[in-house]
């Protein structure tokens, strides 16, 4: 029988990234995936800073940058009646507003970008394979049985029809929104599937002349019918600038699903573009349901689920693939630590505890973002009538010189501002603070938010939070706090008066048989606090210590040098790693 430490089921963002992380950490694993290759439609695209910095930790940020559309071309997001029609307004999105740009630049060494899933997955899978993943395409998960020592998974080779078992110590079910694995291990879910109907139309058309003066990845189109189903409005989405596109259009899920042939798809494209002379080649069409469902537990014994398998939601906020990759990043180092004997099995319980609240948050956020299109329709008088002519007339009325139209203009401005919660939700993207057995608190209260926690990221070294980024000096060059941490190991960051932590960390590492790096940051040291930003961000004294986990979240901290730093650090690490 085939034997492995970890069997990954699925090669979407969750599975492909799990493979990359496990391969990078040297964990023996096999990936099985149902189809002959990776994603065949460009679904996910917004790749947020947290994801890019994780892929930077994996050493593949350059590949992401090389293929992604840069941030500068992502954000002049348009609301219009068609690409050639009336422009209702614009929202600067994905941190491109000059007043928001600083928040994004200050928070991460990495910029966000637009990278379609069709391009992202091969990068992840390619590097994973290069680093040791064994990947079996055309291989379908059928069933599993677990016992005290492992899991026996039955799979089918879809080319030969041959069915065979694979034995693994742990399984990651990354098999997407209709996850059979989650069903088979009976994960508990809350919410509802298929709350609204959407269709994707992927097409080729050169739309440069309609968009080059307002480059964006999203063009929202308000036309009669665009408030039925779908993801808030009709959407013309850039896949590759500016000739590969994807339209998302809604349909009434209570009715029979529409049959979309090329003629119907072309008509929808022409309607949303507003010009039926534009040559269009339809690449593919598909129907899908908007979901509002999340698992409240991600683990069942030796089986873990990640990605859409445990959080199912519409693409609003662009969080699906990002969160899927971040789930796997959270799980991979823990599996590596347990499999190598560096951590106790209970460490794996922290995966649930840390990621399930994130899953719930993003499912609710994405669904709320759809509801938040409602005020735009209301401001334009779209909801007052079902008659398309009346809808268009009330929309045009906003240009009149009347008190009603002036009120309409104010309402529209406020409605568009509300969309910041979908398109500039930096706090949702970066602000995760974990609470679990893999975080050792320091008895300080959680820091308060002085700005909206969904819109703004609040850097803190409060145990459980993501390590704040700042630039440090190194041989005259700039490196991020995220560049000197991660890499699959623990790191202690301290200042010159805390250099005794280095010896303490070496002692703790010896005692526990793990790797703990220490960096003393200060003048004349390997890393200098060039802008004094670290001193402003670290929230501990210069002699204190910030213990950073392999996934760049703070695991523990000491505000100053302690009487017996080695004992304190060893105890914190032992607790964090569930070492009895």
Ligand X SMILES: Cc1cc2nc3c(=O)[nH]c(=O)nc-3n(C[C@H](O)[C@H](O)[C@H](O)COP(=O)(O)OP(=O)(O)OC[C@H]3O[C@@H](n4cnc5c(N)ncnc54)[C@H](O)[C@@H]3O)c2cc1C
Interacting residue ranges for ligand X, rule: CB under 6 A? 9-15, 32-35, 43-46, 117, 140-141, 174-177, 180, 200, 248, 288, 307-309, 315, 318-322, 324
Q: Which of 46, 17, 110 is nearest to 325 (CA)?
A: 17
Cβ nearer to ligand X, comparing 166 with 484: 166
What 298-302 contacts at long range (C-beta under 8 Å, 24+ apart), as own/partner pairs, is 298/187, 298/327, 298/351, 298/352, 298/355, 298/356, 298/359, 299/348, 299/349, 299/351, 299/352, 300/185, 300/186, 300/187, 301/146, 301/151, 301/185, 302/146, 302/150, 302/151, 302/168, 302/169, 302/170, 302/171
Q: How far apart are CA 313 and CA 294, in angstroms?
A: 8
Q: CB of 141 within 8 A of CB of 37?
A: no
Of 68 and 307, nearer to ligand X (C-beta) is: 307
Q: Min. distance of Cβ 120 from ligand X in angstroms?
A: 9
Q: Rank residues 32 and 416 by Cβ distance to ligand X and give the closer one.
A: 32
- Put residue 48 in one of left, alpha, beta given phi > 0 → left and psi -120 to 50 → alpha: beta
| Rounded least distance, CB 286 to ligand X, Å | 9
Residues in the chain: 580
Q: What is the nearest approach in angstroms of ligand X to the Cβ of residue 209?
A: 25
Residue 258 per-residue DSSP state:
P
d(CA 463, CA 434): 8
| Cβ nearer to ligand X, comparing 307 with 463 | 307
C-beta of 137 vs 449, nearer to ligand X: 137
b/e per residue, 525-562, with b = 16+ CB within 10 A? bebbbbeebbeebbbbbbbbbbbbbbbbbbbbbbeebb
Smallest distance, ligand X to C-beta of residue 467, A: 22
The Cα–Cα gap between 69 and 509 comes to 42
Query: CB 379 → ligand X: shortest distance, Å?
Result: 26
Nearest residue (CB) to ligand X, 248 versus 502: 248
Residue whose CB is less far from ligand X, 422 or 539:
422
Nearer to ligand X, 57 or 175 (CB): 175
Q: Rounded to whole angstroms, how far apart are CA atoms 302 and 319?
A: 27
Strand, coil or helix: what is 352?
helix
Coil, helix or strand at residue 322 = helix
CB of 47 to ligand X, least distance (A): 7
Could you tell me the smallest distance in angstroms from the CB atom of residue 206 to ligand X? 21
Task: Kindly state the smallest distance separating residue 232's Cβ from ligand X, in Å.
Answer: 12
Give the H or E element holding residue 393: helix 388-396
């Amino acid at each position: 029988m085939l034997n492995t430490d970890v069997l990954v089921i699925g090669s979407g963002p969750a599975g492909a990234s799990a493979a990359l992380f496990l391969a990078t950490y040297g964990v023996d694993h096999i990936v099985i995936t149902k189809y002959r290759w990776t994603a065949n439609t460009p679904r996910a695209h917004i790749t947020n800073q947290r994801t890019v910095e994780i892929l930077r930790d994996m050493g593949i940020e350059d590949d992401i940058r090389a293929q992604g559309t840069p941030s500068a071309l992502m954000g002049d997001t348009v609301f219009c009646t068609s690409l050639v029609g009336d422009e209702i307004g614009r929202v600067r999105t994905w941190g491109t507003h000059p007043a928001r740009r600083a928040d994004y630049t200050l928070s991460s060494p990495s910029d966000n970008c637009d990278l379609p899933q069709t391009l992202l997955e091969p990068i992840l899978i390619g590097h994973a394979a290069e680093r040791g993943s064994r990947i079996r395409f055309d291989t379908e998960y059928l069933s599993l049985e677990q016992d005290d020592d492992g899991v026996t998974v039955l799979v089918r080779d879809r080319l030969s029809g041959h069915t065979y078992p694979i034995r693994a110590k742990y399984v990651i079910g990354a098999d997407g929104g209709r996850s059979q694995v989650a069903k088979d291990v009976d994960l508990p879910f809350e919410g509802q599937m298929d709350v609204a109907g959407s269709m994707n139309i992927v097409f080729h058309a050169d739309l440069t002349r309609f968009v080059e003066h307002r480059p964006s990845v999203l063009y929202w189109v308000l036309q009669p019918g665009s408030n039925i189903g779908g993801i808030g409005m009709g959407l013309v989405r850039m896949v590759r600038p500016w000739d590969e596109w994807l339209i998302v259009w809604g349909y009434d899920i209570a009715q029979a699903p529409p049959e979309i042939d090329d003629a119907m798809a072309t008509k929808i494209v022409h309607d949303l573009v507003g010009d039926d002379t534009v040559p269009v080649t339809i690449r593919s069409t598909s129907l899908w349901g908007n979901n509002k469902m999340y698992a409240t537990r991600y683990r069942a014994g030796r089986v873990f689920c990640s990605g859409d398998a445990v959080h199912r939601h519409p693409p609003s906020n662009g969080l699906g693939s990002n969160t899927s990759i971040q789930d796997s990043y959270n799980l991979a180092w823990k599996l590596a630590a347990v499999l190598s004997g560096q951590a106790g099995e209970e460490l794996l319980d922290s995966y649930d505890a840390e990621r399930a609240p994130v899953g719930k948050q993003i499912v609710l956020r994405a669904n709320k973002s759809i509801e938040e299109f409602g005020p735009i329709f209301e401001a334009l008088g779209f909801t007052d009538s079902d008659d398309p002519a009346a809808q268009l007339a009330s929309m045009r009325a906003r240009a009149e010189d009347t008190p009603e139209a002036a009120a309409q203009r104010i309402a529209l401005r406020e409605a568009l501002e509300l969309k910041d919660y979908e398109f500039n939700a930096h706090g949702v993207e970066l602000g995760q603070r974990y609470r679990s057995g893999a975080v050792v608190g320091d008895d300080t209260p959680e820091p308060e938010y002085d700005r909206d926690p969904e819109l703004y990221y609040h850097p803190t070294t409060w145990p459980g939070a993501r390590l704040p980024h700042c630039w440090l000096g190194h041989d005259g060059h700039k490196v991020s706090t995220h560049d000197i941490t991660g890499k699959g190991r623990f790191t202690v960051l301290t200042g010159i008066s805390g250099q005794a932590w280095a010896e303490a960390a070496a002692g703790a590492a010896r005692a526990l048989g793990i790797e703990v790096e220490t960096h003393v940051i200060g003048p004349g040291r390997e890393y200098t606090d060039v802008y004094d930003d670290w001193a402003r961000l670290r929230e501990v004294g210069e002699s204190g210590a910030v213990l950073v986990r392999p996934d760049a979240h703070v695991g523990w901290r000491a505000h100053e040098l302690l009487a017996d730093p080695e004992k304190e650090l060893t105890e914190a690490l032992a607790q964090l790693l569930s070492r009895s």
